Structure 1
Amino acid sequence: MISAKPGRVLAMVACTERLGVPRGSGMFRQALHTVSCFSEDKIAAKVDYLKRTLRWSDTEVGIAVSKAPVLLTRSNGVLQRMSDFLISEVGLEPAYIARRPAMLTYSLEGRLRPRYYVMRFLKESGLLNHDRDYYSMVVVGEKVFVEKFICPQKQAAPHLAKDYAAACTGQVPATFTFT
């Protein structure tokens, strides 16, 4: 960006602001870097794709991108799989996802899906409060997740740690098969 012509830098700043990331924001620098990697046409196409795939309005795209500009770098295939999983399988509302775009930066197979299986298993087994928020289970680090949601269930569900580990490698244990 330092070697870019001043006119290009001004265009990148304007594009970043149009995406909903204000100059004073802590994410402005990251958003500016992301914008610098793509043409305005590609950014517009990605914004349109986010709106179609995740069923977001212009405002929701602005909210999401201002919190996680890296979304603009995610492939369309990854975004489609995330959308299918989070909206169709988990049952999250598009606005919920837009306000928590960090979910779209995690691995679907290594984090989102296995933790959803654990949450669903614990809820259906009566071992977890039904009001527990999915995002609160996704956002914590691995060590905290295991300490908070897996270890306390050693007596009631001795297979849970092994099943969770298997789910993190892409396998779906029979205990995580829901009807």
Structure 2
Amino acid sequence: MEIDPGTLEHYRRKLRYKVRYHLGSFCPDVDDAVQETLVRFLRALKEEKIRNPESTGAFLSGICNNVIQEYRRRQWKEPLLDPDSSPPERPAPPEADLLELRQAISIAMTQLSQRDRDILRAFFLEERDKEEICQAMDLSDAQFRVALFRAKQRFRRIYQEELKQKPRREH
């Protein structure tokens, strides 16, 4: 399947509008997100990963949603600070509280299935790419998203129950 330059330009304009809507008009990375979306789309097109040519727009929109989500995740992990400003002062939690949190996390992780532990560890702790995890665990993109969602739910439930069992000390 081939895309003519006019169609590609049409997609680029629509993607720019969509990305600006989701990331904000003044986001400096709008063009980068659009470019990344188009690169992934053209790569999928070249590798013939688009099964139904009539759903090209939906496929492109899905890629764009993934790029936007990855951008937001990156921004959340790497907050931008003014080089002249100092980070906000927050008192560090007492070591006893940190120890309790670590124990609750450890207990929650041991109560999860091996697959859930592997997915959570690879994605959140090792920060591996979704594609890399899918390939290593022999999962499709959809299977990975569902497995990650469910693993996070299970972890959250066990973790919160564990924290409820231990009364917090007042300082």
TM norm. shorter chain > 0.5? no
TM-score by length of 1: 0.32
TM-score (norm 2): 0.33
Greater gyration radius: 2
